[in-house]
Amino acid sequence: MKNLFLSVSIVSVLFMSCDDNDTNSKVDDLMVVTTSNTSGKASFTNLSDDNPVSDNFTLSGTDFDGAYFDNDSDELIVASRTNNRLEAYDGVNTGLNGGSTTLELAYFSTSDFDSPREIAVSGDKVIVTQDQSLANGNVSKILVYQKSETSFTLLNEYTVDFKVWGIHIEGQSLYAVADLTSDIVVFNNFFSNINGAITPTKRVTIEGLVRTHGLTYSSRDNVMILTDIGNAALDNDGAIIVINGFTDVLSSTANLGTIALSNQIKISGFNTHLGNPVDVSYDNVKENIYVAERLFSGGQVIAFSKPKVSGNQEPKSFRTEAGVSSIFIYRVKR
């Protein structure tokens, strides 16, 4: 079944986007990928179409968090919360061309974690976070796998002293969310760590933020974008926080210090459809923000123009997607 994107201002809208890898081309098709933790489906939407629709593919399970698509290998990588492992699916482009609505599970990792929350990919390295829970002894972990054409091999397993959620890898620096707090952390020289307990290079508090969940960074714009789910039980108190000149702001903030409201631009309020925004992606070409909103109307994929001032900003577009849990954007040549 295909979902039609709804525009707030007009019925037909031309979507433009890019992935978090900061690439740019005038002839690329622009795609958004989402997963769900209720439907067991992944969706692919061509944002270049005048009336974008979503192709939905059934995966091997019902609950997924984190997604990455490699168009060169035609592989979708997800963290399965159903099976507690990384999974790689192929045949996406065939399905997008009308061949199938089910993706074939090509290979998967060993089950080294329980309750995964996010993945990040750097070259042949795949990073996954484990959220602490009773099932895993209340241990928060960050794991690194090496990906080949047919396998995931566990390279490193780290424990951290905070409840971890979203992550973003930028070169050798790993940014991570400290869930249940207003804090984010950075691990410099992340891949140089040896197994065991690791400590962030810096941890900072985001003033005014209640509970952070998702984050993404664009080196091209030097902008960090964070999501705030507020009270997890409420569907109207979420927010998006934009920090321009982020590396300078972070550098000038002491460890355990606070990034002030004066360094932030915030989207919040009833008009935004933000209740529990759990993941976020950013188009640095058109300066659009794409959000996986988990709670409002049962789940929505929402697009915003990057704000210049704080306010109760209406979305550029939105569509319903039950249980949406992660979002990823990429480009593909026509």
- List pLDDT tens digits, range 168-186: 999 999 999 999 999 999 9
* Average pLDDT, integer, range 128-151: 96
pLDDT of residue 47: 85
Q: How do residues 260-280 score in pLDDT, each as one tens digit?
A: 999 999 999 999 999 999 999
Sheet holding 288-293, edge to edge: 6-7, 317-320, 300-305, 288-293, 277-283
Split at pLDDT 50, 70, 90, the class of 17 is: very low
Q: What is the pLDDT of residues 45-102, one digit of tens each?
A: 988 887 888 999 999 999 999 999 998 899 999 999 999 999 999 999 999 988 789 9
- Of the candidates 98, 109, 97, 106, which has an alpha carbon nearest to the alpha carbon of residue 29? 97
228-245 pLDDT tens trace: 999 999 999 999 999 999
Using the predicted structure, report yes or no on whether residue 25 has a pLDDT greater than 50: no
26 pLDDT band, cuts 50/70/90, is: low
The rounded distance, in Å, linking the Cα atoms of 192 and 299 is: 38
- pTM as predicted: 0.91
Say what the pLDDT of residue 179 is.
Answer: 96
**CATH number given to 6-333:** 2.120.10.30
**For the residues 116-122, what does the mean pLDDT come to?**
97
pLDDT range class, residue 5, cuts 50, 70, 90: low
